[in-house]
Amino acid sequence: MNQALLTRLFKSIEGNESSALVRVAYSIIEEEKKKGHNGVAERLNTILKNNLADNSSSLRPALKVTRITNFKVPLDRRYKLPLASHIEHEGLRHNMILPTDVEDKILRIEKEYFARERLAHHGLRPRKKVLFYGSSGCGKSMAAEKIAWDLALPFYKVRFDTIISSYLGESASNLQRLFESINEFPCVLLLDEFDIIGKQRNIAANDVGEVHRIVNILLGLLEEYNGEGIIIATTNLDGVIDKALFRRFDDFIELPKPTQKEIADLLKLTFSALQLDLKIDLPDFAKAMHGMSYAIVVKVANDAAKKAVINSKDKIELEDLKKSLAENAELNK
């Protein structure tokens, strides 16, 4: 994460020494120290200390949630397979380069989660059901993982290969059991590629009635959900989600393809562990890569970096980066 983004994030932190967000903030400071970024770590620590001092007298205590420490993902009844997969906190992807408006919207979700007790005091609810949409490879799933990382919440990804059954009624039953199991369990639940089951019912007219039943049960489950965690759905297909289902979300956030500046920042972040040939001009490469998704930009950078490491080079050479760009250009078409 770049220094400017870290500074903005730390300036927005509220809470007390025992809150989850503050603990995460301190872990970020420790990571910066380990990287040798002592100046950055000291500045972030000062910002955090000042925030805690300013807010200590005015903030309400954080909402106490009874966490289920022995939570088990429910299984489908027929094959005994888990309905969701768990990703450990250390494995969550959270270093992202995002447009400022998207950053702000994600930060708003996080701040509302931590302020949920104060919001409830005024009859207000935090955003708990969020839909990320945009083209493939633009960081929708990664943004969901980032929210789980920032909030120090367990992260689960729905396994649609297990949820969807060819047997009448089982798909809807699987969804209902999964939602019931997380109602009292604070976590981030990701419904990735949500259009698998959320597609418009008229588009699914030629499908068997099971698709209609799944959409209908989802309408009810999302409408009624007021659990302790956050549900995040992602879709690549604009206008394909059933409109009635779409309205059940509290927020809709588009993750666009990166701008030239964001591509240059992403390349710089990806190359941070290696040296670059002085002939390489990242803004020029960013211009050539404009229109590519975040995933392809990272792949271009990683392919060039891996070639340098495999060939025992002390830096990434211009020709390697050009070749990597040419090889991956077809993926963006």
Tell me, yes or no, whether 230 and 85 share the same domain. Answer: yes
Q: What is the DSSP letter of 75?
A: B
Tell me, yes or no, whether 245 and 300 share the same domain. Answer: no
Which residue, of 12, 36, 61, is where some domain finishes?
A: 61
Tell me, yes or no, whether 96 and 240 share the same domain. Answer: yes
pLDDT, residue 125, reads 93
State the total domains in the chain.
3
pLDDT, residue 95, reads 83
Tell me, yes or no, whether 28 and 98 share the same domain. Answer: no
At residue 156, the 3 state secondary structure works out as strand
Tell me, yes or no, whether 32 and 178 share the same domain. Answer: no
Tell me, yes or no, whether 83 and 225 share the same domain. Answer: yes
Using CA atoms, how far residue 212 sits from 162, 194, 209, 229, 333, in Å, is: 18, 15, 5, 27, 33
- In angstroms, rounded to a whole number, what is the distance separating the alpha carbons of residues 79 and 59? 49
pLDDT, residue 199, reads 65
Q: Identify the CATH number of the domain in which residue 307 sits.
A: 1.10.8.60
- β pairing state of 275-276 and 315-316: parallel
- In angstroms, rounded to a whole number, what is the distance separating the alpha carbons of residues 304 and 320? 5
Tell me, yes or no, whether 90 and 205 share the same domain. Answer: yes
Residue 278: beta bridge partners? Answer: none
pLDDT, residue 64, reads 41
Position 245 in a domain: yes
- In angstroms, rounded to a whole number, what is the distance separating the alpha carbons of residues 230 and 202? 29
Q: Identify the CATH number of the domain in which residue 149 sits.
A: 3.40.50.300
The overall longest dimension of the chain from CA atoms, in Å, is 63
pLDDT, residue 59, reads 40
Residues of the chain with pLDDT under 70: 1-5, 8, 14-20, 53-70, 166, 168, 198-211, 238-239, 331-333
CB contact at 8 A, 253 and 208: no
Instruction: Single out the residue of 206, 192, 204, 185 nearest to residue 161, CA to CA.
Output: 192
CB contact at 8 A, 31 and 1: no
Residue-level length of the chain: 333
Tell me, yes or no, whether 6 and 108 share the same domain. Answer: no
Tell me, yes or no, whether 299 and 191 share the same domain. Answer: no
Range of the domain at 320: 260-332
pLDDT, residue 107, reads 92
Position 66 in a domain: no
Tell me, yes or no, whether 4 and 112 share the same domain. Answer: no
Residue 232: beta bridge partners? Answer: 130, 190
Position 70 in a domain: no
The token duo for 250 is: 């509290």
Tell me, yes or no, whether 244 and 266 share the same domain. Answer: no
Q: What share of the chain is helix, strand, coil (3-state, %, to 5)?
A: 50, 10, 40
Position 280 in a domain: yes
Tell me, yes or no, whether 248 and 161 share the same domain. Answer: yes
pLDDT, residue 123, reads 93
- Among the residues of 19-129, which ranges form H helices? 20-34, 38-55, 100-114, 116-121
Task: Tell me the CA end-to-end span of the chain in Å, nearest whole number.
Answer: 29
